[in-house]
Structure 1
Amino acid sequence: MRYWEDLAVGETHRYGRYTLTGEEIAQFTTRFTPPAVVGANAEAAPGYLLCCIGMRLLVDHSLVGMASLGSPGVDRIDWPNPAYAGDVLSLSTELLSARVLNSRPEMGLIMQFMAVENPHGVPVARMWTNALVARRGAPS
């Protein structure tokens, strides 16, 4: 189990391999994207599908072994490049900051940068996220 004390600002990781399919792009687009938003680039994956894939990779490869206490939210998301069916996606992360919460000393707050990348290392989704992580041995 990784606790707040085990994390180091500046550490980076690369996680997983996820093959994006045309079927899941079509299903997600049909179910969650208003027709007016689909526009001319209907073959590209919707941005929020890419965020879902990034979170799945994070949970499967990082959060499963972390003393996570949830997230107070996301500061920013953008989609600088499209992703298409057949792209094999991965997730890279960088820990940007970490501090103990004065009001809740049993936990720390971290901010990390996450990028869902295509096989060429080009980001297709970027997220600046916050997470709460338990401190080792802290009173609860």
Structure 2
Amino acid sequence: MTYTLEDFAAGQRYALGSHVVTEQDVLGFAGTWDAQAFHTDPSAARQSPFQGLIASGWHTAAIFMSRYVSTLLADSTCLGSPGVDELRWHAPVRPGDTLTAHLVIESVTNSARRPDRGTVRPRCTLVNQHGAEVFSMVLITLFGRRTTGRSEPQL
């Protein structure tokens, strides 16, 4: 199924699958993108307020995006995103955690200026194996429509 704007409605829920966070992933991501000691050095991390190694928040966001893309966006008319609202990291993510991604559609809006597209605002979350929400955000995602009479959305 190729998802288009018409396939979304407020209140729809999507399960986007799970990802197990490994120490190697935490160290690798942080070494390149967020080299704070509590992300890169297990010994120093034990002395931090987190009392152990934790994933970068940006790593956590990337895990969500990986699940979103592989489960839904890769087979869609997604035209990108002009931004994100309400980005939050609620709890530390540690090596060994299993994060499960969920998405709930908050709103769907047709574009007033571009009849070939519209905006979907999903609330996105990651929950760990204990049921604790560790990450959330509200995305603004542009999707092409299938009812414009065009085979491809215009950019």
3-state SS, counterpart of residue 24 of structure 1: helix
> Normalising by the residue count of structure 2, what TM-score does the alignment of the two structures yield?
0.83
3-state SS, counterpart of residue 71 of structure 1: strand
For 1:60, the aligned partner's letter is: S
> Normalising by the residue count of structure 1, what TM-score does the alignment of the two structures yield?
0.91
Q: Using the TM superposition, give the Cα deviation of residue 24 of structure 1 relative to its aligned residue in structure 2, in angstroms.
A: 1.2
Aligned residue number for residue 2 of structure 1: 3
Aligned residue number for residue 11 of structure 1: 12
3-state SS, counterpart of residue 11 of structure 2: coil
Runs of 4+ in structure 1 deviating by more than 6 angstroms, as ranges, are none
**Aligned partners of 1:94, 1:133: CA distance in 2, in Å?**
16
Among 38, 54, 58, the alignment partner of 1:48 is 58
Question: For the aligned residues, what is the CA RMSD?
Answer: 1.7
Aligned residue number for residue 80 of structure 1: 90
For 1:16, the aligned partner's letter is: G
3-state SS, counterpart of residue 89 of structure 1: strand
Aligned residue number for residue 74 of structure 2: 64
- Aligned ranges 1:116-127 → 2 under 5 Å: 116-127=126-137
Aligned residue number for residue 147 of structure 2: 137
Unaligned 5+ runs, structure 1:
none
Unaligned 5+ runs, structure 2:
40-44
- Greater relative contact order, per chain length (Cα 8 Å cut-off, separation 6+): 1
**Aligned partners of 1:25, 1:89: CA distance in 2, in Å?**
14
**Aligned partners of 2:53, 2:113: CA distance in 1, in Å?**
47
Give the paired residue count: 140
Q: 1:52-80 CA distances to partner (integer Å, 9 max, x unpaired)?
A: 00000000101122211111111121101
Larger CA Rg, structure 1 vs 2: 2
- Aligned ranges 1:100-115 → 2 under 5 Å: 100-115=110-125
Q: Is residue 2:22 matched to residue 1:21?
A: yes
**Aligned partners of 1:117, 1:29: CA distance in 2, in Å?**
21
